[in-house]
Structure 1
C-alpha cells in the first residue's frame, strides 16, 4: 500500500510513523484537546500543541534513554506552563505509555497500531466534516424558510393600528411640610 495515498498516513519510515503516532496520541488526549479548543494557551493554542508534538519527538530522538516517566513529566509541565492546566487524572501517564509503546513497535517495524490510529482519526475527521456540512445545510434551509414566511405577509399586523402603550404622566404630589418646617417622608406604594 502506498504510504502517501489518501487512505494511509504520510509516513515512509519508522521515524515518520513515530512522529505521526505522537501527533495522534496528543491530538486524542482529552485534556490537551479541551485546552486547545478552549484557547487556554492563548489564541495560538493549536500551535503550542504542534510544538509539543515536535518536542516529544525530538526528545525521543536526541535522548534514546527517555522513558514514559520523562514524557509524562514533560506533558504535565507543558500543560501547566503553557495552558494553565493541572493534570492530576493520570491521563498524562497513559499518553506517555502509549507513546513509548508506539516507539517500541515502530523500532520493530510494526506500524499496525499507528496505522489503525490514523484510520480512526480520518474516519472521525470525515464524520465531523459531514456533520458540519449537514448543520450548514439545515441552517441554510431554516434561513430560506424564514425568508419565505416574511415574503407572504401572512398574519402580519399593520403597526399603525397598534394601541398606544404610552400612558399620561402622573402628577407629582406636592410635598407635605409639617408645622416645624420639615418635609414629611411618605412610603411609596
Structure 2
C-alpha cells in the first residue's frame, strides 16, 4: 500500500499544474448527507410543499383526481431522490421542470412565479443540509402557514364541516379584540333614555308621545356623546371586521400585472434565451440567377428570390427592407411543389444600381 502511494505521488510530481488541478477535481468526493441531515431534508421538503398554496389548493379540490394526495406524496419522494443523486450536477432548471410537469398533471397551470421560488428554496435547503446547517428547516417548522388548508380531501361531511368551522373560528380569532368589540357595542347601541311622563292639559286630556318621537329626542340629546364615542373609536382604530373567504373557480394562477421584478438566480441555468428563428436571413434564402431572372432584372427592375415557405408578403417586404434597405413596390409569390420560390420584387425605378 505504501508503494502504491509513493508511485502515485511520483506520478503526480511529474504532472503539470493544470493537470494536477484536473486530477484534484476528479478525486474530490461529493459531500454526503448524514442520517440526521436526511431526516431534516425530508421534513423540510414536506414543510415547503405544505406551504405552497397552489399545490394545497389542488389537493383540497382534487384537481388531479381522487388520488391527488397520493400524487403529492410521490412528488415529495421524487424531489428527495432528485436532490440526493450521486455524482451529478444539480440544476435549478431541472427542478423547476419537475414541479411544472407535476402541476400540469394535476390540470393546474402555474404562472405566478411560485415554481421558481419553491425550486430555489429547495436548492438552498439542500446545500445547508449538506453543510449540517438546519436553520431553514427550523424556521419552517416554527412558522405558521398564513392560509391553512384542510389536509383531508374527499372525506365525510362531518370532517369537512369541522375543518371549515375551525378555519372560520381561526380567522375570527386572529382579528378578534374584546375591548374593541365592547367599544363597538357601546357605540352601536347607546343606553335608552327613560320614557317621558305623559302631560295633562287643562281640559284633562293626556298627551302621549310616540316611540319615534321619543327616539328622535333621545338621538338629539345624545348626539354630542355619540360623536365623542365615535371619534374615540376611530382614533384608536378598534374595528371588528370578518375576513371574507375568496372563492377560486379557476385552476390557472397568473402573476399580477403590476409585479415586474428582475430575477437574479443563484444557480446556473441551462436554458438559452429564445430567438426569432424566422429572421430576414431565414426568409430570403438566395437570389435566383437563371437567364429569365436576370432578364427580369434588366427589363422590369424586378428581383427574384427563393424564400422560406412560411413567410408571407408582409414578412418578405420587411426582410428586404432590413437586409438591402429597399422599399418594395409590389411582391408577387409563386408556390411550387418543393418550396416557395420565384418571389418578384417590383422596385421603384433607379432604386439600386444593377451590376
Q: What's the TM-score, normalizing by structure 1?
A: 0.57
Shift in alpha-carbon separation, 1:110–1:70, aligned structure 2, 3 A: same
Determine the structure 1 residue equivalent to 2:134.
111
Determine the structure 1 residue equivalent to 2:286.
none
Aligned: 1:132 with 2:162: no
In 2, Cα distance between equivalents of 1:26 and 1:42:
19
Where does 1:10-29 land on structure 2 (aligned, <5 Å)? Answer: 13-29=36-52
Determine the structure 2 residue equivalent to 1:51.
74
CA RMSD of aligned residues (A): 2.8
Determine the structure 2 residue equivalent to 1:31.
54
Shift in alpha-carbon separation, 1:87–1:112, aligned structure 2, 3 A: same
Determine the structure 1 residue equivalent to 2:99.
75
Instruction: Provide structure 1 residue ranges, at least 5 long, that are not aligned to the other structure.
Output: 1-11, 136-189
Give the total of aligned pairs.
121
- Secondary structure of 1:13's aligned partner: helix
Structure 1's consecutive aligned runs of 4 or more residues displaced over 4 angstroms after TM superposition are 121-125
**Higher RCO structure, 1 or 2 (CA under 8 Å, sep 6+):** 1
Counterpart contact for 2:46–2:76, Cα < 8 Å: yes
- Secondary structure of 2:143's aligned partner: helix
Q: How far 1:69 sits from its partner (Å)?
A: 1.4
Instruction: Provide structure 2 residue ranges, at least 5 long, that are not aligned to the other structure.
Output: 1-34, 152-162, 170-355
Q: What's the TM-score, normalizing by structure 2?
A: 0.31
2:64 pairs, out of 41, 66, 71, with 41
Q: Which is richer in strand? A: 2
Counterpart contact for 2:51–2:145, Cα < 8 Å: no
Q: Which has the larger radius of gyration?
A: 2
In 1, Cα distance between equivalents of 2:135 and 2:118:
18
- Secondary structure of 2:109's aligned partner: coil
Q: Which is richer in helix? A: 1
Counterpart contact for 2:63–2:107, Cα < 8 Å: yes
